[in-house]
Structure 1
Amino acid sequence: MGRLAGRIALVTGGSRGIGRAIARRLAADGATVALTYARESAAADEVVRSIAKDGGRAFALHAELGRHGDATALWEAFDAATGNARVDIVVNNAGIGRSSDLAGLTEAEFDKVFAVNVRAPFFIVRHALARLNDGGRIINISSGVSRVAMPEIIAYGSTKGALDTFTLNLAKALGPRGITVNSVAPGIIDTDLNAGWLRADPQAWEQASAISALGRVGTPEDVADVVAFLASDDARWVTGRVVDATGGSAL
Structure 2
Amino acid sequence: MGQENAAKPEQKIAIITGGSRGLGRNTAVSAAKHGIDSIITYHSNRAEADAAVAEIQALGRKAVPLQLDAGKTSTFDAFAAEVKRALKETWGRETFDYLVNNAGMSAPGSIADMKEDDFDALVNVHLKGMFFLTQKLLPLIKDGGRIVNISSGLARFSMPGYAVYGSLKGAVETMTRYMAKELGPRRIAVNVVAPGAIETDFGGGRIRDNPELNKMVASVTAMGRVGVPDDIGPMIAVLLSDENRWMTGQRLEVSGGMNL
Tell me if both proteins adopt one fold, taking TM over 0.5 as the criterion: yes
- Is 1:250 aligned to residue 259 of structure 2? yes
Counterpart of 2:67?
A: 62
Name the CA distance, whole Å, in 1 between partners of 2:155 and 2:22: 20
Report the alpha carbon displacement of residue 204 of structure 1 after superposing the two structures with TM.
2.3
- Is 1:25 aligned to residue 34 of structure 2? no
Tell me the alpha carbon deviations over residues 78-119 of structure 1, each in whole angstroms, 9 at most, x when there is no partner. Answer: 112222620100000001134311111122111110001111
Counterpart of 1:160?
A: 169
Name the CA distance, whole Å, in 2 between partners of 1:246 and 1:224: 13
Name the CA distance, whole Å, in 2 between partners of 1:171 and 1:236: 12
Q: Percent identity?
A: 40
Name the CA distance, whole Å, in 2 between partners of 1:208 and 1:132: 38
Report the alpha carbon displacement of residue 16 of structure 1 after superposing the two structures with TM.
0.6
> Does the 8 Å contact 1:5/1:30 carry over to 2?
no
Counterpart of 2:213?
A: 204
> Does the 8 Å contact 2:68/2:79 carry over to 1?
yes
Q: 1:44 to 1:156 in 2, by over 3 A?
A: same
Aligned match for 2:189, one of 161, 180, 193 = 180
Tell me the alpha carbon deviations over residues 197-229 of structure 1, each in whole angstroms, 9 at most, x when there is no partner. Answer: 334333322212122111111111211122112
> Does the 8 Å contact 2:200/2:207 carry over to 1?
no
5+ residue gaps in structure 2? 1-8
Under a length normalisation based on structure 2, what TM-score does the superposition of the two structures give? Answer: 0.91
Counterpart of 2:21?
A: 16
Aligned match for 1:131, one of 127, 140, 145 = 140
Counterpart of 2:48?
A: 43
3-state secondary structure, aligned to 2:232:
helix
Q: 1:90 to 1:200 in 2, by over 3 A?
A: closer
**Which deviates more, 179-188 or 81-90?**
81-90
Counterpart of 1:72?
A: 77
Q: Which amino acid aligns with 1:43?
A: E
**Which deviates more, 203-212 or 55-64?**
203-212
Name the CA distance, whole Å, in 1 between partners of 2:212 and 2:127: 33
Matches within 5 A, 1:115-154: 115-154=124-163
Name the CA distance, whole Å, in 2 between partners of 1:222 and 1:98: 24
**Which deviates more, 198-207 or 53-62?**
198-207
5+ residue gaps in structure 1? none
> Does the 8 Å contact 1:70/1:120 carry over to 2?
no
**RMSD in angstroms over aligned alpha carbons?**
1.6
Counterpart of 1:97?
A: 106
Under a length normalisation based on structure 1, what TM-score does the superposition of the two structures give? Answer: 0.94
**Which deviates more, 96-105 or 112-121?**
96-105
Q: Which amino acid aligns with 2:151?
A: S
3-state secondary structure, aligned to 2:143:
strand
Name the CA distance, whole Å, in 1 between partners of 2:45 and 2:38: 17
3-state secondary structure, aligned to 1:198:
helix
Across the two proteins, how many residue pairs are aligned to each other?
248
3-state secondary structure, aligned to 1:218:
coil
> Does the 8 Å contact 1:7/1:31 carry over to 2?
yes
Question: Structure 1 runs of 4+ off > 4 angstroms?
Answer: none
> Does the 8 Å contact 2:200/2:208 carry over to 1?
no
